[in-house]
Amino acid sequence: MYGNPVGVKTGSQVKNWLYTAKNYIEVTKPRSVFLLVFTALVGMFLAAAEYTMSMPVLLKSLVAITLACSGVNAVSCYVDRDIDAIMERTRQRPIPSGRIAPPEKALVWGLAQFLVASVIALSLNFASFVCIFLGMLGYVGIYSLWFKRKSAWNIILGGFSGGLPALFGWTSVSGKVELLPVLISLLVVLWIPNHIWNLAIFYKDDYRKVGVPMLPVVCNTKRTLLYILFTVIAMFALSIGIYFAGTMGTFYLVSAIVCGFVIAAGNIYLFFAPEQKKAWFLYKLSSPYLFLIFLAMIIDHHIILA
């Protein structure tokens, strides 16, 4: 008579459900998903300046790329569960901490999201489906399963997947692969070494402990910083080159110069005064750099040039 009515959740049940939901969201690395989805959104709006973008296409594209990125991240967390359980930086993630158990639940969760994303992308056009498929192939197949534990150039060999969300954004609207989205995607690819290798400098003992040959583990810090500097300069040059491709305005150019100068100057300083804490700072700075560059693109195209 005084029991819990059928179908009514108690406070503890709601808390357990929210706790479980939090863990399954966390395993998708939501901060990474946000940045990648943002690059895709910018790609969509840049394409919309030349092609018609309906609201259904916008919504389907956002759902597809969000599920694809979160699904790929969940699968990669499953693949890396053994080393994540040892590394200081990752051992509190949902799988190694036991918050998602057995680990296969995370694998199913990730694959299910990826499957739904693939179906939605295919309903948009074939080019968008290829972008989604190559994202899984590049990040999980080439990077996580193949090169991450075998080569110091793992993020170079598997890093092309990081640029695919931006390309997906364009193709989801246009159905075509064109020069501008390719250049923008390449900008993300060139951004990845600065982002990951500075992180690996800070956590190189962690990577050494689990036998992952990140560049700072197999090379001395000075040489690693030189390679980072090469990619940062290439990234800076490409960001300017995107302006000369003829589709961006002065606001984007100024933003690219200012942001590029800051990130390049920081890495030059780090090269001449190497220190793990400084590498960590530049790792943290790299994400805002990418966000601001893409934000400048959309402001330039849809607010200033409109």
pLDDT in tens, 57-99: 999 999 999 999 999 999 999 999 999 999 999 999 999 999 9
- For residues 37 and 111, membership in a common domain is answered with yes
Which tokens in the block code for residue 247? Answer: 């589709």
Q: What is the pTM of this model?
A: 0.93
Give residue 287's identity as a one-letter amino acid code. Answer: S
pLDDT at 1 over 50: no
35's CB contacts (< 8 A; 6+ apart) are: 287, 290, 291
pLDDT digits (tens, 9 = 90+) for 224-271: 999 999 999 999 999 999 999 878 899 999 999 999 999 999 999 999
User: Do residues 160 and 22 both lie within one domain?
Assistant: yes
- Same structural domain, 151 and 198: no
Say yes or no: 120 and 254 in one domain.
no
Q: Are residues 124 and 188 in the same domain?
A: no
| Contact by Cβ (8 Å): 128, 61 | yes
Domain encompassing residue 42: 16-174
Distance CA 285, CA 72 (A): 24
Pick the closest to residue 175 from 132, 242, 129 (CA basis): 129
Residue 5 has pLDDT above 70, yes or no: no
Domain assignment of residue 8, yes or no = no
At 156, which CATH number?
A: 1.10.357.140
Same-domain pairing of 142 and 167: yes
**Residue whose token pair is 């359980």:** 85
